[in-house]
Structure formats: C-alpha cells, structure tokens
A and B are shown apart, each in its own frame.
Chain A
C-alpha cells in the first residue's frame, strides 16, 4: 500500500471533522491548537496515511494537501 502524509493548512481549517470521518486509516483528529479564526485545526496524529486523498476530497475549505512518499531505490 502507498505511503503518504498530509499537511493541513491550519489557517483555513474550520474543524468540521468531515476529513476525520472520511479517512479510512483514522490517522486524523482535531488538534488542541487554535487558529486565528478560533477553530481547532485538524492534524495527522499518527503514521499510516496511505495517500488516498479522501480527506482532501472531502474538505470544504481546501485545507488539506496530500503527499505521496516513495522509497528511493
């Protein structure tokens, strides 16, 4: 399975939780941080992202960037 990670553009996140529910690997959660709009941005809190983009696809605020990680041969 592919390996990946996500980067949350914290300023745009509204902590709606849709990405958390959408992630098949359950690697996302609402963090304890607070952004300038008063929302708690989502974070990837553990390994196991498979770069499936489900989270980014669900985000109404385009606040998630997804990276695919490949081992160099």
Chain B
C-alpha cells in the first residue's frame, strides 16, 4: 500500500492561521482558490494583493503575498498606481459588492476601461456582509436586508446591478467572467477562470475581471449548505454564469 498526498493546504495560504470568516463563507473558498492559482503559477514572490473594505479587509492575514489595504471602493485606483510603477509585479484587487458596485463604481469602470494590466476578483454575496446585512447594489428583488426589511423594491432601489454585463460593454477589458463557488462543479470552473484571469495579466493581454457568486450564511440567515443552494436557485437565474468578454476569442 502506498499513500500519496494529493491535496494539502496551499503554500501561499498563511501557516497556522484561523480565518475570521463565518463557517461556510464563500470568501474562504475564494481565498483558497486564489492561493492555489498563485502557487500553480509560481508567482507568490511577485504578487501584490489589494484588500478591500468589507469582510475580506483582513485577507492579508491569510494569503502570504505583499498586500496593501485600500479605502472602501478604491482598490482599482490603488492597483493602478502599483502596477504602473511596478509592471513586473502581478497585482490583484479583491472586492465585495458594496465595495465594487456601489462606493467604488467609478474606480472599477475606469480601471477596466483603461485596461490596467491587473486582475479583479469580485465577490458578489448580494449583501453588505461586514456592516451587518444592509442592502447591496446586488441584493435581489424581494430579498430582505436590514435596510430593506420588506425586501428590495425595484421602484425605490432599482434592479440589482449586473457588473459583468455592465463592464462587458466596454471595449478595452480583456477578460470578464462570472463564476460561482457554490458547489464543487462550479468551484472547478471558478478556479479555471481565476487562473486564466491571472494568465491574461501576466501575458499582458489586459484587464481581467472575475465575478464570484458567493454567499453570506450569517446575514442571509441560512445554514451554509442552504445558503449555497440559494446562490444556485436564486442568484444564478439573475446572474448567469459565463464568459462575457475574452480577448483570445475576439482575436480569432
């Protein structure tokens, strides 16, 4: 009998740390995927991450690469300064839906439109997690949140923003995709997309953006497994998975 370890904690996952995330939160899964991709691409020593304001504000405690912390929504601008001065580095922003689709809308649209050679990982959990479950720009119609206790009313708050579709109207970005971490089959695709996004950055193709449909068991008031079922049953119909823009496909 011979035993081979075929999965272990990624090398760039900081040793000995417990994350502060609630049990079953998709932030952790996405962090793990990020670490796996960083390891597989061998870029740990030349990657600079930008942490958002949101539940992932302390992600630098978990991923062992250089990090800078941005003000709420400003990560794309910060990334621009980093990448312009150090084009040899791999730069990524990691942002929640409040961070990216509300307070940082101008920054995300323009970083994409300038085609900065950076990668954005956008965690859509349809809620403001960190501040305790307020309505996000991505909160679904009818979904309850602490600031829309009767459910989101599109007459008052408009319809949830589809950021991939919105950004895909721009000519410049190289790669825009929506994935999910709700279940293993989606996680496999999510990892492929995130890896591709980094590869596009490294090969200089341009700006890459991956939206991750996640969850927030705590503020949704659901058990983790149920929460991810809701990601599939409620979020996916409104936020279809897929590739919205691909430099390689366009070049063909």
Contacts and interface: CB of A to CB of B under 8 A. Distances in A.
A60 B6 CA distance: 18
B223 interface: yes
Nearest to A52: B184
A70 B7 CA distance: 15
Contact of A67 (B3, B18, B22, B183): B3
B188 interface: yes
The secondary-structure label for the interface of chain A is: mixed
The secondary-structure label for the interface of chain B is: mixed
Contacts of B19: 60-61
Bin chain A's interface residue count.
20 to 34
A56 B32 CA distance: 10
Given A17-B24, A60-B24, A66 B6 contact: yes
Contacts of A4: 6
Interface stretch (B8-16, B81-89, B100-108, B201-209): B8-16
Given A54-B184, A62-B32, A68-B6, A16 B13 contact: no
Contacts of B1: 69-72
Contact of B24 (A5, A14, A65, A70): A14
A28 interface: no
A17 B24 CA distance: 7
Q: Looking at B18, B19, B223, which has the most chain A CB atoms within 10 Å of its CB?
A: B18
